[in-house]
Structure 1
Amino acid sequence: MTRRVDVVVVGGGQAGLAAGYHLRRRYLDFVILDADAAPGGSWQHMWDSLHLFSPAEHSSLPGRLMPVQAGESYPDAGHVVDYLTDYEKRYDLPVQHGTRVDAVRRDGDRLLVEADSGTWRARAVISATGSWSRPFLPAAAGRGVFAGRQLHTVGYRRSADFARQRVIVVGGGNSGAQIAADLALYDHVEVTWVTRRPPRFLPDDIDGRALFDVATARRRALEEGRPDTGGVASLGDIVAVPPVRAARDAGLLNAKPMFSRLTADGVQWADGSRSGADAIVWCTGFRPALAHLAPLNLRGPRGHVPTDGTRALDEPRLRLLGYGDWTGPASATLIGVGRPAREAVGQIHALPA
């Protein structure tokens, strides 16, 4: 049986919930289909030591401030999961957990959303699947030769899992720095951090509040036809959260240039020397999880769907929300997703019934 609604939201993490909040306020008939069995989006899969870049009051979805976490200036991932769980219940959002969407197709003046629980027919779809389910691994020389353990950021949980091991962490972004710091501050791990270029730490007084302001200033400049300010990327790559700062100041977070290849028992450096390793943690980023949109044939360069804000240029009934700056400045953050969610829902509300 095909069910009919105004809007199907694919993904029940922070972006999907923000969309749901605004859909509820517009009195639209909608459903949120989420592959995870429980609320919390990707936050429920993060490593144990992860904390937000911003205080709770600057990490909120529309309509509901995140409560302060006792004893923590920057809330941890578990606190975010609790907040998102409460948010979903507070606004009575119709989230169907444990529902995987396989495809979105055109069907006359509607879109068909095919899920493992059945098919939905809607006049609009909001894709909010994020990128956590699609980790990126580079084509590094010798990766298939290395006999030790290899894992991506998504598989990392805690430093104690690597006790008495030699670990190489690859990646110069926030995940690489935080995981390298987590391991470096644990006495029983020998960690080597490698990056393709020297790491760029943001000033210590910069956190998520300032980053959001910088992203907002860039958006305003572009909208007004002024020169591009460069946004967050102009400041640096790594937020110096307390554990990263502690490891850096203790001299434990000194990055080496990228190795030239992996060997059976470690890595080989550019000068021909070798180092042994028991594990490699690839903190090499993600790609947008858009396989469900393949039947629409919308993909452009780098796997992105060309958009104007959140609107897919070649499919006006589709909105993409929360994938990064190409779908709204800071839209992949808790505080940043509210505005593009409101705009997307407003545009959908204006579509012909």
Structure 2
Amino acid sequence: MSQRPDVLVIGAGQAGLAAAYHLQGHGLTFQVLEAARRPAGSWPLPYASLKSFSPARHAALPGLPFPGDPERYPTRDEVLTYLETYAAHFRFPVVQDAEVTQVLRDAEGFRVLTADGRTFSSRAVVAATGTFRRPFMPVLPGQETFQGRTLHSLAFQAPSPFARRRVLVVGAGNSAVQIAVELAGGARVSLVARIPVKFTPQRPLGRDIHDWLTWTRVDQLTLGHLGRLPSLRHVFDPGQYRAAFREGRLDQRPMFTQFTRGGVIWPDGVEEAVDAVVFATGYRANLEYLRGTGALDRQGEPAQRLGVSRSVPGLYFVGLSGQRAVASATLRGAGRDAAVVIRHLARRPPMT
């Protein structure tokens, strides 16, 4: 593309592709810059057995249904194939092997630099790299002395290396429970969290929980509404998770107080030998390339409202956790968030 496009989208995962769909619909010129060799975002990174927490009919991006049985829960590889098919179906201008290292502002908008020395220019930028490439691992007392293995859930690929080991999984969300139950097939596992896990049936009254969230519009509630609701942090249980705890295949414990060389110390003062600790403790915004633009706070989080930068005109975000609603940063929420952001961008022509 010889002329400066209206928009550069950084990231060709679910958020970036949803943004591309709406940019195309508004007739704006754009390019999508993707660090990898396939338009799949962070989906190639998690463990192979990962399944979507929502059924296929809620896992589609705008304009193209997810193929196959709409009741099933797509695997990681099925999502990868769908994202590649989606980008090809709409013929999005995706530039692969374009890892963005820095975004600079200039008189005509933005210059975007990549790791291989290329420079791209545009009048506006949509940062769609989300959070799932920047794992968050807390640093706990004594952790530097621990002789066992510590890893984030992003680095977990299969349970076999942990067979017959004593393993702790730290976290109280869907990924933590899914990994813990999978590990429990061959290891001695405890799920460790500061708060007890709250289970919600995956299919109450015979319909998936996401159907109910959609019909009641709960997953479209904005952050302002969320502050007036009880906690929505629940683990969706298809049936086997709660049963695994009930049958004693693993247990749930309060957070340990510190590491030792050979294990951990529990709140009652008892030390236990541990071989490995898996932290399913979430992610932080993956936006280091925006350093120096004034778009990020001291913690590296974007100053934004509903995906619109508060401090940098022409800069937008899609795919942030909690960006707009309960479903933000998920497959089912990417399309709605992108629609809001691109509509705002289209109403305010990029800088010329």
> Is the pair's TM-score, using the shorter chain for normalization, greater than 0.5?
yes
Unaligned segments of structure 1, at least 5 residues: none
Q: In structure 1, how many angstroms separate the alpha carbons of the residues matched to 2:246 and 2:24?
A: 48
Contact 2:149 2:276 in 1 (8 A): yes
Contact 1:202 1:235 in 2 (8 A): no
Matched ranges for 1:59-208 at <5 A: 59-68=59-68, 73-117=72-116, 118-184=118-184, 186=185, 188-204=186-202, 205=204, 207-208=209-210
1:135 Cα shift?
0.6
Greater mean deviation of Cα atoms: 244-253 or 72-81:
244-253
- CA 1:170/1:288 → structure 2, altered by over 3 Å: closer, same or farther? same
**Aligned residue type for 1:77:** R
Q: In structure 1, how many angstroms separate the alpha carbons of the residues matched to 2:63 and 2:98?
A: 26
- CA 1:235/1:120 → structure 2, altered by over 3 Å: closer, same or farther? closer
1:104 Cα shift?
1.1
Q: In structure 2, how many angstroms separate the alpha carbons of the residues matched to 1:259 and 1:253?
A: 16
1:208 Cα shift?
3.2
Secondary structure in 2 matching 1:113: strand
1:147 Cα shift?
0.8
- CA 1:328/1:218 → structure 2, altered by over 3 Å: closer, same or farther? closer
**Aligned residue type for 1:210:** W
1:52 Cα shift?
1.3
Question: CA offsets, 1:33-90, max 9 Å, x none?
Answer: 11122232212112122111221112110001101259x7211111111111110110
**Aligned residue type for 1:218:** L
Q: In structure 1, how many angstroms separate the alpha carbons of the residues matched to 2:47 and 2:5?
A: 37
1:250 pairs with 2:257: no
Secondary structure in 2 matching 1:126: strand
- CA 1:5/1:227 → structure 2, altered by over 3 Å: closer, same or farther? closer
TM-score with structure 1 length normalisation? Answer: 0.90
- CA 1:235/1:203 → structure 2, altered by over 3 Å: closer, same or farther? farther
- CA 1:209/1:248 → structure 2, altered by over 3 Å: closer, same or farther? farther
Contact 2:41 2:129 in 1 (8 A): no
Aligned residues: 344
Secondary structure in 1 matching 2:66: coil
Secondary structure in 2 matching 1:8: strand
Q: In structure 2, how many angstroms separate the alpha carbons of the residues matched to 1:97 and 1:215?
A: 36
Q: In structure 2, how many angstroms separate the alpha carbons of the residues matched to 1:131 and 1:91?
A: 25
Contact 1:36 1:97 in 2 (8 A): yes
Secondary structure in 2 matching 1:144: helix
Which residue number in structure 1 is paired with residue 339 of structure 2?
342
Question: CA offsets, 1:165-210, max 9 Å, x none?
Answer: 11111111111111111112x1x21112111111122244263333
Secondary structure in 2 matching 1:340: helix
TM-score with structure 2 length normalisation? Answer: 0.90
- CA 1:209/1:161 → structure 2, altered by over 3 Å: closer, same or farther? farther
Contact 1:171 1:282 in 2 (8 A): yes
**Aligned residue type for 1:88:** A
Contact 2:188 2:250 in 1 (8 A): no
What is the aligned-residue RMSD (CA, Å)?
2.4
Matched ranges for 1:226-245 at <5 A: 229-230=228-229, 234-245=231-242
**Aligned residue type for 1:112:** R
Q: In structure 2, how many angstroms separate the alpha carbons of the residues matched to 1:254 and 1:4?
A: 57
Q: In structure 1, how many angstroms separate the alpha carbons of the residues matched to 2:243 and 2:84?
A: 32
Runs of 4+ more than 6 Å apart: none
Which residue number in structure 2 is paired with residue 210 of structure 1?
212
